[in-house]
Structure 1
Amino acid sequence: MATLTSHNYMVGLFIFMVISLGSGYEYFSMEWLDNGEKGEKSNDTFKYYNTGVRVGIIDPEKYSLKSFKRHEKYFRNTLKTYNKLKGDDPLTYGEWLLLNNYGILRDTQMSILENKKKALSKRNNKKNFVKTVRKGDILLTNKKGTGLVGHVGMMATNKCAIEMPGGKGWASGIKDNNRRLSAGAWFDEYSSAYTMVYRCLGKGVANKAGDWAYHNYYNPKGGRKKTIHTTYRITPDFSKKNPSYCSKLVLQAFYFTERRVVIDHVIRYGPFIIPAKITSYFTPHCEMSYVGRF
């Protein structure tokens, strides 16, 4: 087993999490990942894909080598962005893939980057989405442009979501980026990709988290007028509400209302909360149920 140095401490802990919590994952060596320098570009696509298969992240029947090849350009470009953001001790390509779980959702083992079927009726799908979502639900979709895979928001009420959408200039910070939007507006905004809906089976926990998100990222009194203005910036400080970013907002909403529902050592798994892995940060006290994708 290769020795974990300071630069891959974060990934080493994530690997421990994979081994400890994952179903059917096998013990593996860091030597499978990268033998080159940080950020080195390699044509050995199969090696990285096979690593994902061997550790149980990738199910070849649900995520093919062909699909992985198609996503590699995006992965490598996103890695470059991540390493610029992280600064010291940049990650290798293999480490970054593991950190982001290859963009694979842990429960369904489908890729968050999967293209939406054109034959899917937008009108009916939107209607079903609006009827399905409720307060406290986590909304996970794909949005490119940051060093992390995926984008996440949450339903603060039965009818509206709270999110930090980011956008152009996100790396240096975007002022007043927090916003409220109706469930229908969320669907329209991200209609080019699937939205996966997750629900905490503890309704009381979900309701409190929804309230916290609204009161801390929109209006402390619960009013319709926006009185909180949060800057979008990805930073490693989990405790602060400003600046913030998408997945940090969501996890804070649960953590600061009932801490036992989020793993105590959440920050040890890396300086940033990975959107595509959002459900893996929760304990059995807030079991996340996959509601569906729209």
Structure 2
Amino acid sequence: MPGGGNIVNWLWTQLKDNNSQKTKTHWIDYWSKKAGKNKIQIWRPKDKAMRENVANYADYRFWSSTHSLTKNRHINYQIIQGTSGFNPNYCSRMVWQSFYHGSGNKNVIQTSTAGLTYIFPGALVNTFTSKYRPYKVGTY
């Protein structure tokens, strides 16, 4: 979710229909220019099958209920408290929810983090259990 606009809208109102899908290259190019040098970090869990399950869940939950290229999920952007609920939402919370709900019966995310008030991007990696803790792919 790109957010954007006035930061007041991130907290008190909503940015309507703010979810999008981009290629990895497009996302890295766009955000590394916007955020400045060495701001974007890519982390990846080692378990490939689990990653694929989580990606499928994220696609279903946050883009298309039919897994098609046509968007039929319209998520509003707002930084809100808690980890439950899917709309409105914000970027790091969507990633956390995808791993929490989309990893099947694997204990990927620490259950104690379900009670967090906010999911901060820089702290996201610390919500994983030690068995599934992601490794850093790179900084862009």
Specify the TM-score bucket, using the shorter chain as the normaliser: 0.7 to 0.9
Aligned to 2:69: 224
Q: C-alpha root-mean-square deviation of aligned residues, in Å?
A: 1.4
Structure 1 SS opposite 2:58: helix
**Aligned ranges for residues 251-262 of structure 1 at < 5 Å?**
251-258=96-103, 260-262=107-109
Is the counterpart of residue 274 in structure 1 residue 120 in structure 2?
yes
Specify every segment of 5 or more residues in structure 2 that has no aligned partner in the other structure, as ranges.
Answer: none
CA deviations 1:51-85 (Å, max 9, x no partner) are: xxxxxxxxxxxxxxxxxxxxxxxxxxxxxxxxxxx
What is aligned with 1:121? none
User: 1:85-105 deviations in whole A, cap 9, x for unaligned?
Assistant: xxxxxxxxxxxxxxxxxxxxx
For 1:173 and 1:222, how far apart are their aligned partners in 2?
25
Task: Give the SS at the match of 1:177.
Answer: coil
1:244 and 2:81 matched:
no
Moved runs in structure 1, 4+ residues, more than 2 A?
A: 191-194
2:22 matched to which residue of 1?
A: 181
Conserved 8 A contact 2:18-2:76: yes
Q: Report the alpha carbon displacement of residue 204 of structure 1 after superposing the two structures with TM.
A: 1.3
Q: Is the 8 A contact 2:58 2:102 kept in 1?
A: no
Cα offset, 1:213, TM superposition:
0.8
Cα shift at 1:167: 1.3
Instruction: Work out the CA distance in 2 between the residues paired with 1:284 and 1:191.
Output: 29
Structure 2 residue aligned with 1:190: 31
Distance in 2 separating the partners of 1:165 and 1:242: 15
Query: CA-to-partner distance for each residue in 1:6-28, whole Å, 9 max, x for gaps?
Result: xxxxxxxxxxxxxxxxxxxxxxx
Identity %: 28
Kindly name which structure, 1 or 2, has the bigger radius of gyration based on alpha carbons: 1
What CA distance in whole angstroms lies between the structure 1 residues aligned with 2:4 and 2:110?
29
Secondary structure in structure 2 of the residue aligned to 1:233: coil
- Looking at structure 2, the residues matched to 187 and 257 of structure 1 have their Cα atoms a distance apart, in angstroms, of 24
Instruction: Tell me the CA shift for residue 202 of structure 1.
Output: 1.1
How do residues 20-35 of structure 1 correspond to structure 2 at under 5 angstroms? Answer: none
SS in 2 for 1:179: coil
Query: Once the two structures are superposed, what CA deviation does each residue of 1:155-181 show, in whole Å capped at 9, x if it has no partner?
Result: xxxxxxxxx111112221111011101
> Bigger relative contact order, structure 1 or 2, given CA contacts below 8 A and separation 6+?
2
Which aligned pairs between 1:30-49 and structure 2 lie closer than 5 A? none
Distance (Å, rounded) in 2 between the aligned partners of 1:266 and 1:191: 28
CA contact (8 A) 1:177 1:232 kept: yes
Gaps of 5+ in 1: 1-163
Once the two structures are superposed, the pairs formed by residues 117-266 of structure 1 within 5 Å of their partners are: 164-168=1-5, 169-171=9-11, 172-192=13-33, 193=36, 194=38, 195-258=40-103, 260-266=107-113
Q: Shift of residue 189 of structure 1?
A: 1.4
